Structure 1
Amino acid sequence: MRSILITGCSTGIGYHAAQVLKAKGWRVMATCRNEDDCARLRTQGFDSFRLDYEDPASIETAFEHAMTLTGGTLDALYNNGAYAIPAAVEDLPVAALRQNFEANFFGWHDLTRRVIPVMRAQGHGHIVQCSSVLGLVAMPWRGSYNATKFALEGLTDTLRREMRGTGIKIISIEPGPITSDFRLNARKAFDRWIDWENSPRAEQYRTKLVPRLYDANKTPDRFELDAGAVTDKLIKALDSHRPRAHYYVTTPTWIAAIARRLLPTSWIDAIFAKV
């Protein structure tokens, strides 16, 4: 039985991956930020315990618990949990950006560093990072999330090159729009951190960003896929002895990857300024 530790399993991408891999015979350790979500997953037969990337103590405790459950081995780590703070960059408090990096970047690095010695000792392992199309191209109103994912892409590419010859495979998955609670979580962060009514861009918030965040009847994005599209790429990566470095999910990710290679920066600015 292969073992995998997955973060961000309360809903969406992480939850779907946990369900599918469990059905395929993996020992899935499905972690969540909140204990209530862990309790719900335990009723579904998962090994589930709390791991909050913003809480270093919870990362340490979760890792130690995972090692106890598996007898000190781990075949795969799937770093997944993340959230956005939608806002114009000029309205983004420094404290908000720091906290977002803790959740989307530093916590991932902490957990990954704990896993690497285990995989190095056993001579194999897969570390999969759920990045984003926003780690390839930057879009307006998403500065905090863009920044964390660009940082993650750089760190992951470096790690992949450093791990050559160790038996540890480092993989990035870059989804575009996926059906999930991502917008709901972004709205909570927006409410907490952004004083948009006193921004010089207040009218843009009122007419563009706020309706997008709060429209309960919002239709899915044109190219939106369900979480299964991400899980499909995850399984391909986990089942491969020579996985690809990057797995793109959704048409927008492919478009972004091609555009940044072929188009002048001024063209990309003009295209994505309208998104």
Structure 2
Amino acid sequence: MRIGELELAIIDIITFIGLLITFLTGVLNLFQNKKTLYINNITRFRVIWITTLRTHISSLKELSNITNLYVRTRDGRNKIEFRRELERVVSLIKMQLNFTGTLDCQLICKVDALKAALNSYLLAYYCKNTVNKAENDNEVIDKFKEVIDVITEKKLLEQLLNIAISNKKIEAINKAETPSLLELKNEVKLAYMGDSILIKQMIKEIDYMIINYESEIECLNCDIDKIVQIYLKAEWVRCKIETKMWPYNRYDEDKVIKRLQKEYEDHWK
């Protein structure tokens, strides 16, 4: 009887172990399937997000092409529609980014700087073309005031103010570190104070400003190209790593970015 009981106990133990293994395997498969489904969904939406970001960046590159900008500035009109489209594209790009990410913050800063340079470039041309249409000194003053009312870019207003300060050798009127747009406009008008000679001198110096804007736009475009290429490559690396089994699915963002930056620099040496 003992032998039979012993055999029965062994069979029960083996059966129990088999059932336990089957149960644990089922539970593990369930969790793994859920994890796989989650990762697949995240990866799918990340691919969509990458494609969307790439599309918005391409739109920004098209808007900031120097050749296209040069053609747009020939007629001397205020490019309101173009600037609206620029604002829309920049906003869409920023909404796609994470304000806490390292590369995201760099890209946001560069995109904002590019937007300011593009707006300043177009408005500088508009200012030059509008004032040059004046037939006498009174018209020069009137058209200059009209132009200042239209300008909505602080970058350009600050440079116009610096021209007046350097030529008249006066001090800045507004001591605020970050004056508002309206304060800057009033300060520029007050600095030029109906001085047609100073306005004409400013128009001459705008040509140098435009050249500097073109160089700045080119440099910013190159910087954005670099950041975006590294950024998108890092996201693809993230997709590949996070779809692996544990413990090989840990993504070290800083390490990956540093490696990609080094590879990028080595590639373009």
**Same fold, TM-score > 0.5, yes or no:** no
Greater C-alpha Rg: 2
Shorter-chain TM-score tier: under 0.3
